[in-house]
A and B are shown apart, each in its own frame.
Chain A
Amino acid sequence: MSAPGDDGVLAAEIADAQFGPAEVSAAVATARPRRNTPGPLDYLRRWPLQLWLVIVGLFLYLPLITLMAFSFNDSKRNIVWRGFTTDWYVKALTDSSLLEAFGNSLSIAALSTIASVILGALAAVALWRFDFRGKTAFEGAMAMPIVIPEICMGVAMLVFFARIMPWPQDLVWPFNLGPIVIAHISFSFPFVAVVVRARLASFDRSQEEAARDLGATDAQAFRDVLIPHLKPSLIAGALLAFTLSLDDFVITFFTAGPDTITFPVKVYSMVRFSVTPEVNAASTLLIVLTVLLTVVALRFQNPKEVAGA
């Protein structure tokens, strides 16, 4: 109908489509369709908002970037840039007390994750499947550790293990980590329960009934139908629990004994002497690990993306 490049006609057509005949003449006169009111994303093209984005970005990421950058600084101090080096990583990775702390952190995270996933998943399934007296109260009590200030949890744990249930000293690994593991389980299993419950909401109960109908016992139906459905949320919950445990400082600080130092607590004590780039290097490693785990956890929470899993 119109030759390509014939701007006037084309513009008129676009204008026609957008505004209807009444506005066509105006549009043709300027040979350009007028802009409509900006859509939500259009605001991003305007400078005040772009500036705002930059400021927010700086606030969020500049400290982290600084921390990471100075972990490569060839200087004992964190103030002036002296050149690139990976010496601090070597130092961090050969510092035996730091490594021991890191090992403790990993053991604690692994143990508390396993327990949290089992407890959290069972709690979620129980709340989903059964109706019982005090269900609401139970649900509320279970979510408490999510909302209680960490410092209160920490103090509570300290008092508990000091007065009510003193933990014997000088136990062999992993029993020496007992108090920290218990404390970690108590604040991470509610998160697992929340994630698993969200997934349960999309479960079609007739699948479980179909399994029963085909001859499966309750336990077999649970194993063959419910667990596979929950798998993405179990993995996501596990990664969440692992990350929470790995970088917890406050509660761990109150429950750690002299020979059960964890990585965050160790970093804290190092910082109290001086902030050397070794701390930066160690922190950077922890950040990378945490971010990786979080990314994996998020991917598993969206089962669409892991349909093959």
Chain B
Amino acid sequence: MSSKPPIISIEGVTKRFGDHAAVDDVSLTINEGEFFALLGPSGCGKTTLLRMLAGFETPTEGTIRIDGKDTDGVPPNRRPVNMVFQSYAVFPHMSVADNVAYGLKIDGVAKAERDRRVEEALALVQLEGFGGRMPDQMSGGQRQRVALARALAKRPRVLLLDEPLSALDAKLREAMRFELASLQHKVGITFVMVTHDQDEALALATRCAVMERGRLIQLATPSDLYEFPNSRFVADFIGTVNMVEGTLKTDNPTEAIIATKELGDVYIDHAVLGNEGATLYLALRPEKISLFRRDGVVPPKLEDCPEGYNVVAGVIDHIAYLGSESVFKVILTNGRQMLVIRPNLTRWDQEDFVEEQPVWLSWHACAPAVLAG
């Protein structure tokens, strides 16, 4: 995009503990000013990758460049990055102000300048006036802000955050999420955040890297990850999905048909570019399926159902009413279970669809993501 060189570039990095590869041949670049998220299930190597950026682990293979410079052999205290630890790691024997001042003191910043920057950093995280407190007089959320202020006071080029919100309760987590976003906006520093919470990653990140068992599976913007997953793993990991296996029956430049056991022939309005007879997977998001009452045996006419083309019959088995939307568990006539999400746009929307109600499910010809593996 920009002509500036990336602030971080990771080239073919592998980290082995014994013969177990915690990070396996990962290459990616992170641009200046980005809010970058590393996302993946527990144990996939996110923290290990982050710790290699901070300098606490050294790559077994590959190169990490920060700001264009090779970091090989550069200790953590000489890197232009700072980290917010999952446990916050606030020094319990120092006051809040001393915690924030620590990095500046080590750097030999003069007292007056130091005090000014401590004030500034505390103001940034809305902890003005808390400087004299000891950490054990602070709540978990406040301690987290201390950790943030302490890292930001050093004015790093990159701020590394390891699951910064995971220790907070749900309400606070939501609030801090917005605060992190606005903080990043204010300071303009590149943020690299590790999380296993997909909502957090989707809400905050400009780009996400999804990892699985040490490998980088997909690197994309949040919406691309959700709408254009490149694998069953990503489709499954991000959000909920109805996954259906099938084989490619017809493949033209403008349309394709995939034969499935569970949904019959599924019509797709674009080329799939595969070999006929190849096994494929359809990832169909629940909110992209429409529900219609099924009172007769005739499927809805095409003009009633612009999504058209793909229609299957089922019976509503269970409804989870979530306020803004309802999640329907529908059992097809062949026994396959499908999830459908329907927004409750009006206050009586849900009345048409009750449990045991026979329904038609239909979806647009471009709704499913077609995955090769």
Segment touching B, from A217-225, A257-265, A275-283: A217-225
Asked if A139 is at the interface (CB within 8 A of a chain B CB), the reply is: no
Is A209 in contact with B56, judged by CB distance below 8 angstroms?
yes
Q: Looking across the interface, which residue of chain B has its beta carbon closest to that of A216?
A: B106
Is B87 in contact with A213, judged by CB distance below 8 angstroms?
no
Asked if B103 is at the interface (CB within 8 A of a chain A CB), the reply is: yes
Is A209 in contact with B89, judged by CB distance below 8 angstroms?
yes
Given A206-B85, A206-B87, A209-B56, A214 and B102 contact (CB-CB distance below 8 Å): yes
Q: Compute how far the CA of A36 lies from the CA of B77 in the bound complex, rounded to whole angstroms.
A: 64
Asked if A6 is at the interface (CB within 8 A of a chain B CB), the reply is: no
Q: How large is the interface on A (under 10, 10 to 19, 20 to 34, 35 or more residues)?
A: 10 to 19
Q: Looking across the interface, which residue of chain A has its beta carbon closest to that of B51?
A: A209
Is B102 in contact with A207, judged by CB distance below 8 angstroms?
no
Asked if B54 is at the interface (CB within 8 A of a chain A CB), the reply is: yes
Q: Looking across the interface, which residue of chain A has its beta carbon closest to that of B100?
A: A214
Asked if B154 is at the interface (CB within 8 A of a chain A CB), the reply is: yes
On chain B, the residues within 8 Å of A204 by CB distance are: 87, 89
Q: How large is the interface on B (under 10, 10 to 19, 20 to 34, 35 or more residues)?
A: 20 to 34
Convert A210-250 into 0s and 1s, putting 1 for each residue whose CB lies closer than 8 angstroms to a CB of B: 11111111001000110011000000000000000000000
Convert A39-77 into 0s and 1s, putting 1 for each residue whose CB lies closer than 8 angstroms to a CB of B: 000000000000000000000000000000000000000
Q: Compute how far the CA of A206 lies from the CA of B81 in the bound complex, rounded to whole angstroms.
A: 16
On chain A, the residues within 8 Å of B75 by CB distance are: 212
On chain B, the residues within 8 Å of A206 by CB distance are: 85-87, 89
Q: Compute how far the CA of A210 lies from the CA of B86 in the bound complex, rounded to whole angstroms.
A: 11
Q: Which of B46-81 contact A (CB under 8 A)?
A: 54-56, 75-77, 81
Q: How far in angstroms is the closest Cβ of chain B from A306?
A: 12
Given A209-B56, A209-B76, A307-B136, A214 and B103 contact (CB-CB distance below 8 Å): yes
Q: How far in angstroms is the closest Cβ of chain B from A199?
A: 13
Convert B95-131 into 0s and 1s, putting 1 for each residue whose CB lies closer than 8 angstroms to a CB of A: 0000000110011000000000000000000000000
Asked if B93 is at the interface (CB within 8 A of a chain A CB), the reply is: yes
Convert A184-207 into 0s and 1s, putting 1 for each residue whose CB lies closer than 8 angstroms to a CB of B: 000000000000000000001011
Interface residues of A (CB under 8 A from B): 204, 206-207, 209-217, 220, 224-225, 228-229, 307
Interface residues of B (CB under 8 A from A): 54-56, 75-77, 81-83, 85-87, 89, 91-93, 102-103, 106-107, 136, 147, 150-151, 154
Starting from the known contacts A207-B91, A213-B76, 15 additional A-B residue pairs (CB-CB under 8 Å) come to: A204-B87, A206-B85, A206-B86, A207-B89, A210-B150, A212-B56, A212-B76, A213-B83, A214-B82, A215-B107, A216-B77, A216-B102, A216-B106, A224-B102, A229-B93
